Amino acid sequence: MSSSRSTRVAGAGLVAALALSIATAITPVGASAATADPLIDYPTFKGAADSLDRNGAADLIVSSGSKVKQRILRLTPGGYRQSGSAWSTTKLDVTESFESTFKAYLHHFRPGADGIAFVVQTEGPRALGGWGGGVGYRGIEPSLAVEFDTYQNTYDPNSNHLAVVLGGNPNYQSDVADSPISLFGRPFSARVVYDAEDGLLRVYIKRLSSGATERLVLEHEIDLAEHVGDDAAWVGFTASTGTGLSKQDIYSWTLDGSSA
């Protein structure tokens, strides 16, 4: 649970410039070209209201900034003790391989809290976990969460790390690694790849700036279907704040995989 507070807000010019960099960023280095239409495809979140179940603080909004305005998914709007979740209404076949890429921007106060997670779960489309250190997925089980954590709780290595968490309990991280880039204050792209044949999950991250290189950050062995107890699962995002605050935004999201 976060416990820091600040009153410093990024200037409007910086926010607009960062929004422009998100909108115009190139495809992450190493991302495979799609050979068919993606199962989930939100280059922006325009028209996503009927295909994305939102809970708690999560909502679809128009991004601010004078240069670029687009529909985005805001998981938390920057208030205290918030949690939000959003799940695609298209269920994913987790017996098959998949690859998901998204662009995120976590910003507002500094230091920010608490972070976001990419989550696969079988609890249902209304699933919503705890605020603060719960990162919006605490208590959602069975589940697999890949968290992008911006606040150091007692069980965290630092305030800028990635982790794989099973069973909706962020106190116990199955795999954890420092992020090679700042997760807060600058937009980034992440790619989550699951190889069903090898039972291997890989997580990549990349700064959204010219010349930036995608980095492999985490590898975790898992039989995803066995772990979540079903062949079909909901997939989406969670986030939270505590007494430290963040606006936590997803600007685009695609997933290549098989429907259940």
Asked if residue 176 is part of any domain, the answer here is yes
Q: Is residue 111 part of a domain?
A: yes
Is residue 2 one of the residues assigned to a domain?
no
The count of domains in the chain is 1
Residue 238 · residue 91 · CB < 8 Å: no
Quote the domain boundaries for residue 192.
12-30+39-256
Task: Let me know if residue 5 belongs to a domain.
Answer: no
Q: Is 221 a domain residue?
A: yes
What pLDDT sits at residue 43?
96
Structure tokens at 73: 């998914």
Tens of pLDDT, residue by residue over 112-136, are 899 999 999 999 999 999 999 999 9
Inter-residue contact 183 to 158 (CB < 8 Å): no
81 assigned to some structural domain: yes
The CATH number for 238's domain is 2.60.120.200
Tens-digit pLDDT profile for residues 76-98: 999 999 999 999 999 999 999 99
In a domain, 1, yes or no: no
pLDDT < 70 stretches in the chain = 1-35, 65-67
Instruction: Return d(Cα 93, Cα 235) in angstroms, integer.
Output: 10
Q: How high is the pLDDT of residue 229?
A: 96
The confidence score (pLDDT) of residue 66 equals 55
CA distances from 119 to 70, 129, 175, 185 (A): 24, 11, 15, 22
* DSSP secondary structure string for all residues of 3-69: ---------HHHHHHHHHHHHHPPPPTTPPPPSS--SEEESS-TT-TTTEEEEET-EEEEPP-SS--
DSSP string spanning 54-77?
EEET-EEEEPP-SS---EEEEEEE
Does 239 reside within a domain? yes
φ and ψ at residue 55, rounded to 5 degrees = -135, 155
Who's near 24: CB < 8 A, 6+ residues apart?
A: none
